[in-house]
Amino acid sequence: MESSALLFNQLKAADPFFLLAGPNVIESEEHIFRMAKHIKTIAAKVGLPLVFKSSFDKANRTSSKSFRGPGMVEGLKILEKVKLAYDIPIVTDVHETIQCEAVGRVADIIQIPAFLCRQVMVNSTEKIRLAGNPNVMVCERGTMFGYNDLIVDPRNFEWMREANSPVVADVTHALQQPAGRKLDGGGVASGGLRELIPCIARTAVAVGVDGIFMEVHDDPLNAPVDGPTQWPLRNLEELLEELVAIARVSKGKQHLNIDLTPFRD
């Protein structure tokens, strides 16, 4: 708990923001190690604290034919290896409460997927704090708009501050088109609008979010899961450099006092 609290405080103090990034799902040990190596190098170059992200099981799939990953036991072994090899903290998601203890022994941050939590963030964070964990972050990842589309409302970044927790913008999942892509042989998978990732990311850092969550892949066209919303590794440094520059000049984290007294000449 002490190490997690230390990391939480370091991320809260990140200037201009921290980064949660990695491939959507563990495809192999070799792939995870390669991605961690490159993402860590890029994050260090642009000056951002990094928490490496990947999932051991993509359980929240609408199609039984979707790739799910290696499972919890093997996946946690791989994540622990990469954590030790590259000395980086890890974030991964859980799908059932019984997974939390085992995952917590490896992961520095446990991610509760959007499907598994209520969307009133003030209530959700308070629930977790009352259970004994004061180190809570909240993440905006879009609101359903019809069956196959998500909308990112920048007002949410401001309103989520009411949860008194670091606010994170998930700039990749927010551009999913859930179950919007038909697969050969039947079934569906998430589509997405990768070309708009920079748009959402620029907006988020200008508003003044505390962290950016993004899924990154070295070959997104051939990624087994969520390829349409994974950002290309070869473009990661370029995008992060721009986001850091925007965040440096923005006053998004500062409260603007609005003066409603009558204006006089």
- Enumerate the active-site residues: 24, 58, 226
Concatenated DSSP letters of the chain: -HHHHHHHHHHHT-SS-EEEEE-SB---HHHHHHHHHHHHHHHHHHT--EEEE-BS-----SSTTS---S-HHHHHHHHHHHHHHHT--EEEE-SSGGGHHHHHTT-SEEE--GGGS-S-HHHHHHHHHHTT-----EEE--EE-SSS-EE--THHHHHGGGG-S-EEEETTGGGEEEEEEEPTTS-EEEEE-GGGHHHHHHHHHHHT-SEEEEEEESSGGG-SSSGGGPEEGGGHHHHHHHHHHHHHH--TTS------SPP--
